[in-house]
Structure 1
Amino acid sequence: MIGRIVEIAEDGRHLSLSRGFMVVESKGQELGRIPLDDIGAVVANAHGLTYTNNLLLALSERGAVVVLCGPNHVPAAFLWPVDGHHVQAQRMRSQLNVPAPLAKRLWQMLVRAKIRQQGAVLEARGQPSGAFETLARKVRSGDPENVEAQAARRYWPLLFGPEFRRDADAGGTNGMLNYGYAILRSTVARAVMGAGLHPSLGLFHHNRANPLCLVDDLMEPFRPFVDLAVARLADAGHEAVTPETKRFLALVPMLDLPTPEGTTPLSTVVMRAATALARAYETGEAVLSLPGDAGQAWAPMPLEWPVPPRVPTPA
């Protein structure tokens, strides 16, 4: 069983141990406490955090991991327990030894969910989306026909216009997509590490120079939510990555999604997906928790955050 993933995202917090609880304080005032036995991971994602050695030892004894994030919100280091039986070691062994048929089946589910979610975004934008359900059903184990790429060729012109081409090295709308994906990638990376999985051992991505192959696999079904946010920015006349667009795209992990468990922030849905993936490695059963993996995409809820006004570039 994977315990709670606790993220410390506010600056200046102090974490300590008291009678079997992790206590979170600020300026000497207690803000809350969590039973140690409930914790699967602590994600330190803020500046000026301090910890007691007793707390770190107590977390290690219970097999909990402590993830230290850098200023860009991507995990920079993590504290892994090394003594006794630890859940993450078991998960990593299962991950390393995943049978090829299971890995292909899981990748099929990720691609299907992504394509269905692309269709849901287009539908929310008033664009034709019926072909995307057909394409999703065509995806076979491992996606040998690369239906993912076929869907992309239809998707981008419908979302951003017939002249648009997705180019990771370009600026403009592409640059905003890149920034939004970077925010999403850090969210998925924290969830993957918090679930006790190794981020380099991917299902599909296997680039030797990429330390986050599994992260890039798992984030695929969530990319369309970034696309939707960028489309709103483009509607408002934004054409580049600016402080205003950065602040707007940084809200994507907080986007509410209408999940079967009720309205849930995207960051929590990502954590559930990482948890389900860890369980799939251990059990050998291809069961995930993703938008669109059960044959029905999650219609994106309206983005209620106000789109920032475009600041004209000085002549």
Structure 2
Amino acid sequence: MACLYVIEQGAEVTKQGNRIIVRKFGTELQSVPAFKVEQLILMGNIQITSQAIKFLLTEGIDTVFLTINGKYRGRLVSSFSKNIDLRRKQFKKLEEAAFVLDLAKKFVWGKLANYRVLLRRYQKEVQKEAVEKAIHSLRRLIEKVADAPDLDSLRGIEGSGSAIYFSALGQLFKNPEFRFEKRTRRPPRDPVNVLLSFGYTLLGNTIQSYIDLSGLDPYLGALHSPDYGRPSLALDLMEEFRPILVDTAVLRVVNTKAITMKDFYVPEDAPSLPEEGEIEDLTPEDYPILLTYEGTKKWITMYEKRLQELTFYPITEQRLSYRQICEQQVRLLIRHLKEEDIYQPFVLRM
């Protein structure tokens, strides 16, 4: 168990010996040895004892706090990595304009290439003209990436590619209850967008946990400009994994009906809302539709299942889990910053 999620509202996280314990009203819900947990994610109204906090910090277990709807709140961070030489190298290289542009191109190329592979895989079955057009349009954009003269031009290519991809993504859903016309955020305004946004939050946490462990600074990246509180490097590294891990999982849960419309609700129709302090500032207009408790459990289970799937990783010529590949890509980036290797985005094979 690499990641332990606690989503039972009102639960309490404690420690007993070298085990992480989750209880509610005195009843033990989970008991997990600490050595099996890389990351602990607490969603919504979850209590945690001071003893558990000290234990998690001592063991170096990344602990993330999300709202019940998957919005990131923060994380427990132990003493920052002592690898100052690595961070100095990161800061130095990411001040070099040519190096930054070249690295950003790799992130965009990987994202667009994986967009195209996903569409091509599903096009074999759906045979839709709109999907075929998107595949060809993405190919033309991918060819432009190498010639982008600056970051603004590159971001324009990435934005155009994302718009083309999401315009075709709706053609891949088989369940007529789920309609997807465009990507909407802050807030996501339909079930597919809810799943995508939640999934990207989980993916960001996965990537940032490996960045934190590596000693890199998650707030300085290449493609995403630095901004107060924004983990730009984590956003950079997750780009190539969005279609691989999140979008693929969304298509699976919808097309297999593992998640249905019964797993969503609109706030005014909900039997009960999370306790005060979690979403007190939200209105039905802010979040028109939300995942139910059961829907949240299903989606987390599918995301974690996808992370554990094995595939061929060309850098090491091994079959690794997608979670392991996320970690390997962070390590590859470190070698790239040290000029010991060249960063290559991980791209799915057809």
Range of TM-score over shorter length: 0.5 to 0.7
Tell me, yes or no, if the aligned pair for 1:121 and 1:224 is still in contact at 8 Å.
yes
Tell me, yes or no, if the aligned pair for 1:116 and 1:136 is still in contact at 8 Å.
yes
Distance in 1, Cα, partners of 2:170 & 2:329? 30
Residue 196 of structure 2 is aligned to residue 181 of structure 1:
yes
Q: 1:120 aligns with which of 117, 128, 135?
A: 117
Distance in 2, Cα, partners of 1:30 & 1:230? 30
Tell me, yes or no, if the aligned pair for 1:66 and 1:79 is still in contact at 8 Å.
yes
Q: 1:48 aligns with which of 46, 63, 68?
A: 46
Distance in 1, Cα, partners of 2:186 & 2:59? 46
Deviation at 1:113, TM superposition (A): 1.6
**Matched letter for residue 16 of structure 1:** K
In structure 1, the residue matched to 2:327 is 272
Question: Structure 2 length as normaliser, TM-score?
Answer: 0.57
Identity %: 13
Q: 1:224 aligns with which of 207, 226, 243?
A: 243
Deviation at 1:204, TM superposition (A): 1.5
Tell me, yes or no, if the aligned pair for 1:45 and 1:69 is still in contact at 8 Å.
yes
Tell me, yes or no, if the aligned pair for 2:21 and 2:28 is still in contact at 8 Å.
no
Tell me, yes or no, if the aligned pair for 2:221 and 2:232 is still in contact at 8 Å.
yes
Tell me, yes or no, if the aligned pair for 1:74 and 1:186 is still in contact at 8 Å.
yes
Distance in 1, Cα, partners of 2:196 & 2:325? 14
Deviation at 1:150, TM superposition (A): 4.8
In structure 2, the residue matched to 1:105 is 102
Answer with 112-121 or 195-204: which moved more: 195-204
* SS in structure 2 at match of 1:86: coil
**Matched letter for residue 287 of structure 1:** Y
Structure 1 stretches lacking a partner, 5+ long: 300-315
* SS in structure 1 at match of 2:34: strand
Deviation at 1:111, TM superposition (A): 1.3
Tell me, yes or no, if the aligned pair for 2:167 and 2:181 is still in contact at 8 Å.
yes
**Matched letter for residue 201 of structure 1:** L
Cα RMSD (Å) of the superposition?
4.7
Tell me, yes or no, if the aligned pair for 1:185 and 1:215 is still in contact at 8 Å.
no
Q: Which has the higher helix share?
A: 2
Distance in 2, Cα, partners of 1:61 & 1:184? 29
Distance in 2, Cα, partners of 1:242 & 1:191? 25
Tell me: CA distance 1:139–1:187, structure 2 relative to 1, closer, same or farther (3 Å): same
Residue 265 of structure 2 is aligned to residue 250 of structure 1:
no
**Matched letter for residue 81 of structure 2:** H
Tell me: CA distance 1:282–1:73, structure 2 relative to 1, closer, same or farther (3 Å): farther
Distance in 1, Cα, partners of 2:29 & 2:252? 43
Tell me: CA distance 1:139–1:117, structure 2 relative to 1, closer, same or farther (3 Å): same
Distance in 2, Cα, partners of 1:87 & 1:281? 20
* SS in structure 1 at match of 2:33: strand
